[in-house]
Amino acid sequence: MLPEMLTPFASLVERYRVIFFDAYGVLKNARGVLHGVPELLSWLLRQGKDVYVITNDASRSPAQMAAAYVHPEHGVLIPESKIISSGLLCKDFLRAKVRPGRVAYLGKPSAAFYIESAGLVPVHIGACKSADDLSAFVLLDDEGFDWFRDLNLTLNLMRRVSAPVIVANPDLAYPVNDQEVGLAVGSLAAMLERIVGKSFMRFGKPDTMMFSHAFACAHENVPHLRKSDVLMVGDTLETDILGANTFGLDTALVLSGNTRPEQASMMIQAKGIIPTYLCESVFT
């Protein structure tokens, strides 16, 4: 059952009409877009592939994310409309299901975009004097607040008010560089959830909603698109691969992020989450 050996990424491409990429650990790391990515994307577009980014990231707006894929020479490589972030799902939920008013959030100011664009009023958790009129809590990112002070503050506000809690990125960790990872907001959310004792709502992979959303977008561009025409490329078994497997897509696990080359076989075996292909990275 196991993909026994590494497949060159470029050799996979001809089998698919649409490529979904995870961002962190695949196309970028904490320092930005990886060297070589503009050329890769440009080459894919020239081959006629339709390319999307499917990312558990609510730290910035899709417009800000898309800016990373604009290249002086190659131009716009992935437009804002093809960046499907967990923040977007969160925004749709906030607009449709949360009553108008103030929403307390954890994250950088840039993350508040998702609350504002849902027509609600973002309030940084550190500025919440009283919780009495909060419509919701939204956990967007692991940066932009003082962990000790603001996590304790969030815990106590959540104990007092029964507003829904929305986690805009369920990831537990993310790759910072080749060697190190960082605790993601999903870890902080899980810690709070266990004490508060309520069910937080999570948006993002491995839930299939992002894949479904992206597939619907792609379907409008690519006539008669079938699931077997789409390849999901990700670095994390429990989110990228599990979610895309469940949705019915073929998957390529790249070893440039959360899954380290020396552990890949053992982790696939241990977890039983089986990608269609194993690739060293999107470049090799």
225 scored as a contact of its own copies (CB under 8 A): no
Instruction: Please identify, among the stretches 26-34, 102-110, 123-131, 158-166, the one whose residues bind its own copies according to the rule CB under 8 A.
Output: 158-166
99-128 footprint of its own copies as x/- string (CB under 8 A): x-----------------------------
15 scored as a contact of its own copies (CB under 8 A): no
**Integer Cα distance of 10 and 241 in angstroms:** 19
Q: In terms of CB distance, is 61 or 239 closer to its own copies?
A: 239
Site for its own copies in 66-95 (CB under 8 A): 92-93
Among 201, 217, 222, 225, binds its own copies (CB under 8 A): 201
Instruction: Please identify, among the stretches 70-78, 109-117, 119-127, 201-209, the one whose residues bind its own copies according to the rule CB under 8 A.
Output: 201-209
Other CB atoms within 10 A of residue 192 CB: 22
Find out whether 275 and 252 touch, Cβ atoms under 8 Å. Answer: yes
269 scored as a contact of its own copies (CB under 8 A): yes
Angle between helices 209-221 and 86-97 (to 10 degrees): 100
133 scored as a contact of its own copies (CB under 8 A): no
130 scored as a contact of its own copies (CB under 8 A): no
Q: In terms of CB distance, is 40 or 172 closer to its own copies?
A: 172
Instruction: Please identify, among the stretches 14-22, 108-116, 118-126, 190-198, the one whose residues bind its own copies according to the rule CB under 8 A.
Output: 190-198
Shortest Å, Cβ 62 to its own copies: 19
Query: φ and ψ at 266, to 5 degrees?
Result: -65, -40
Q: In terms of CB distance, is 42 or 208 closer to its own copies?
A: 208
Instruction: Please identify, among the stretches 5-13, 18-26, 100-108, 237-245, the one whose residues bind its own copies according to the rule CB under 8 A.
Output: 237-245
Instruction: Please identify, among the stretches 28-36, 72-80, 106-114, 140-148, the one whose residues bind its own copies according to the rule CB under 8 A.
Output: 140-148
Shortest Å, Cβ 130 to its own copies: 13
One DSSP character per residue, the chain reads ----SBPPHHHHGGG-SEEEE-SBTTTEETTEEPTTHHHHHHHHHHTT-EEEEEE---SS-HHHHHHTTEETTTEESS-GGGEEEHHHHHHHHHHHHS-SSEEEEES-GGGGHHHHTTT-EEEEGGG-S--TTEEEEEE--SSSS-HHHHHHHHHHHHHH----EEES---SEEE-SSS-EEE-HHHHHHHHHHHH-S--EE-STTSTHHHHHHHHHHHHHSTT--GGGEEEEES-IIIIIHHHHHHT-EEEEESSSSS-GGGHHHHHHHH----SEEES-TT-
Applying CB under 8 A, the residues found at the interface with its own copies are 1-2, 92-93, 96-97, 99, 142, 146-148, 151-152, 155-156, 159, 162-165, 172-173, 179-183, 187-188, 190-191, 194-203, 207-209, 212, 227-228, 238, 242, 245-248, 266, 269-274
